[in-house]
A and B are shown apart, each in its own frame.
Chain A
Amino acid sequence: MTRLTLRQFRTPAAVAAGALVVVAVVVAVTGPHLRQLYDTIAVSCRAQGNCPTAFNSFLNTDSSLRTWLGILVIVVPGLMGIFWGAPLVAREWETGTYRLAWTQSVTRGRWMAVKLGVIGVAATIVAGLLSLMVTMWASPLDAANMNVFGTFDQRDLVPIGYGAFAFALGVLAGVVIRRTLPAMATTVVAFVGARLAFTELLRPHLIAPMVRSMALTSNIAGLGFGSNNGGPFNLLPGSPTIANAWIASTGIVDRAGNAITHQYVARACPRLVALGTSGPPAGSNGSTRVAAPPGLDNALQSCLDKVGTAYRDVVTYQPAGRYWTFQWYELAIYIGAALVLGAVSLWWVRRRLS
């Protein structure tokens, strides 16, 4: 049964292997140069003390390839769901070959379990190898970028979970819908929906973020004043530079957690508001540079001193040290979901398709 599955899977497997070889060649050709360049820049910039600037220009090296490889890691699991998962049972149904397959001396439960197991493992291997190659290739760029959470779902372990999940999702869609094309379309929608929902709604709450509360001083990077999109004039929160951290939220809040209001600022800092609202029209998006009115720094400092008695700049974030915890959590959840979907498919084939 395993041999038969592999025989029927020969063409898709060859396509996947070919694609992996292409990626391997690209990575092998461009990767060593990237690593070498990074090492050179790292040594010289540490000597000169201009690493942020030097790394910034280094990040432009192969930046489009970096983008495309990242997209590939995100898209390939979906493709496996569409082209491996969805047709697995739906095509048997459409062509009527299930009547051949399920009347041999192998129960359809076993038939389904072997198909799910063999091709499911293949999907995780493809996703894993692709992620491994891209992660290794991009490691110099990621080291310079200092934003590991920004490329979280294109690197390391989680693509393996996405691969298994997308495949199992496609299989279930095919089993339930029994027609290849609608099952493929459903797989796309469900996979994208599940990924977005997880990323937006679930991932931020997997671990409670750390909180950093700072007294209001003009030393905090990004702390300033202005208006958002032409709204009322207000103090704007800053965030400290925390290497590789995932900043969840920033705000200027009081002890009870309420955000500062523009009315409060208008009452407390009339001079800052007067100086700040003169000059370029609000909402100019910073495209117009004008000289700061004299006394502005002073006005800001006295405003912060005054407001700072009641308010603090509060940042919630996930530190870099939690990167691998998040990777393992997300991998485990997606693999678990894939196993559940696989079990439902198995049950459906044994009980409902009869």
Chain B
Amino acid sequence: MAVLEHMAVLEARGLGKRYGRRWALEDCTLSIPEGRVVGLVGPNGAGKTTLLHLAVGLLAPTSGSVEVLGRRPGAGSAQLGRVGFVAQDTPTYAALSVSDHLRLGATMNPRWDSAVAGRRMDQLGLDRRQRAGSLSGGQRAQLALTLAIAKRPELLVMDEPVASLDPLARREFLEGLAQVVGEFGVSVVLSSHLIADLEQVCDHLIVLVASRVRIAGDIAGLLGSHRRLTGPRQDPVTLPAGHRVIEARHTGSVSTFVVQADGPVDAGSWVVEPVGLEDLVLAYMGRTADVDGGGLSSVGVRS
């Protein structure tokens, strides 16, 4: 997981947010590298939204610290201008028209790029007089993305931007995102529970479970260093040396393992297959906190 050769766009240390007696995020430490499209995945309640709200300055930490682009989030208008945010369900003002929203963006952001906003509106074929309340979910998400990108941020943060969209709108949104990323070279952090979508746009992945980073790394590297081993059921398990078990399943006389190994390892009699991103993420989500130390002796079992 050597990803620290880049400067971090987001650096959290022991970050926590408490509501009353409930911790929405507790003791979260993570680092998100610059220049990537980072997918943040995790089960509901892992603290993804809280983490992202802390990153854009909507929330203030109860404990620990978070720095975005080297500064405290929301610490003044300049810092707010460096980070674009597309919130969950892409909120817009229902009574205001599309062009009202563009004017909102223009008056509230000194670095507003009206050419970019106009071009995207033309591409999307949105009627600018239409009220945001009557837009489809996909159009509203595109409008929200336009607002976030036309302020010319250095970092674009998106919280489940496609979760409520139909597959076609989802694809169009992600294509628009990919285009924007290619054009402006903006760093992106994007939370989603749809792993197939992440694979389409992201090059870096962070799995967050119960405020803890389960795994983080470039997707290509992760896929290269993980594999699935299948063989006859054994008890106790004796796997080839150098493998770290992420997930073990035993069905009938067959045992299947998702394992991690940094280099080529002699797998012996095991059948070795590559692991898809979705299975990889699910394997890490299934691991419980007490096996996080890793090692052959601690095997998380999903059945």
Residues of chain A touching chain B, judged by Cβ–Cβ distance below 8 Å, are 1, 3-4, 7-8, 11, 95-100, 102-108, 110, 354
Chain B 36-71: CB-based contact to A (< 8 A → 1; otherwise 0)? 000000000000000001001111100000000000
* Closest A residue by C-beta to B17: A354
Q: Check B76–A3 contact: CB distance below 8 A.
A: no
Hey, which chain A residues are within 8 Å of B110, CB to CB? 105
- A1 touching B108 in the complex, CB below 8 Å, given contacts A11-B95, A96-B91: yes
* Closest A residue by C-beta to B109: A105
Q: Check B80–A106 contact: CB distance below 8 A.
A: yes
Q: Please give the number of chain B residues whose Cβ is less than 8 angstroms from any Cβ of chain A in the complex.
A: 36
In the complex, identify which listed stretch (B99-107, B161-169, B207-215, B271-279) lies at the interface while the others stay far away.
Answer: B99-107
* Closest A residue by C-beta to B78: A105
Q: Check A4–B89 contact: CB distance below 8 A.
A: no
Hey, which chain A residues are within 8 Å of B147, CB to CB? 100
Instruction: Please pick, from A11, A96, A105, the residue contacting B77 in the complex, using a CB distance under 8 A.
Output: A105
Tell me how far the C-beta of B227 lies from the nearest C-beta in chain A, rounded to whole angstroms: 41
Q: Check A7–B80 contact: CB distance below 8 A.
A: no
* Closest B residue by C-beta to A11: B95
Chosen A-B contacts, 12 in total, with CB atoms closer than 8 Å, are: A7-B104, A99-B53, A99-B85, A99-B91, A100-B93, A103-B80, A103-B87, A105-B80, A105-B110, A106-B77, A106-B80, A354-B60
B144 at the interface (CB under 8 A from A): yes
Hey, which chain A residues are within 8 Å of B151, CB to CB? 104-105
* Closest B residue by C-beta to A104: B108
Tell me how far the C-beta of A278 lies from the nearest C-beta in chain B, rounded to whole angstroms: 74
CA distance A7 to B106 in the complex (A): 14
Q: Check B89–A96 contact: CB distance below 8 A.
A: yes
Tell me how far the C-beta of B110 lies from the nearest C-beta in chain A, rounded to whole angstroms: 6
Q: Check A99–B80 contact: CB distance below 8 A.
A: no
* Chain B 98-140 interface residues, beta-carbon cutoff 8 Å to A: 100, 103-105, 107-111
Q: Check A107–B74 contact: CB distance below 8 A.
A: yes
B96 at the interface (CB under 8 A from A): yes
B83 at the interface (CB under 8 A from A): yes
Closest 3 CB pairs of A and B: A105-B81, A104-B108, A99-B87
CA distance A8 to B85 in the complex (A): 21
Q: Check A4–B85 contact: CB distance below 8 A.
A: no
Residue of A98, A102, A108 with most partner-chain B CB within 10 A: A102
Tell me how far the C-beta of A230 lies from the nearest C-beta in chain B, rounded to whole angstroms: 58
CA distance A110 to B80 in the complex (A): 13
Q: Check B77–A95 contact: CB distance below 8 A.
A: no
Tell me how far the C-beta of B256 lies from the nearest C-beta in chain A, rounded to whole angstroms: 42
Hey, which chain A residues are within 8 Å of B53, CB to CB? 99
- A4 touching B108 in the complex, CB below 8 Å, given contacts A95-B94, A97-B91, A97-B93: yes
With A100-B91, A100-B93, A106-B77 known, 20 other A-B pairs at CB within 8 A are A4-B107, A7-B104, A8-B96, A95-B91, A95-B94, A96-B87, A97-B92, A100-B92, A100-B144, A103-B80, A103-B83, A103-B87, A104-B80, A104-B104, A105-B81, A106-B108, A107-B76, A108-B74, A354-B57, A354-B58
Hey, which chain B residues are within 8 Å of A354, CB to CB? 57-60, 74
Hey, which chain B residues are within 8 Å of A110, CB to CB? 77
Tell me how far the C-beta of B212 lies from the nearest C-beta in chain A, rounded to whole angstroms: 24
Tell me how far the C-beta of A199 lies from the nearest C-beta in chain B, rounded to whole angstroms: 38
CA distance A97 to B85 in the complex (A): 12
Residue of B84, B91, B96, B103 with most partner-chain A CB within 10 A: B91
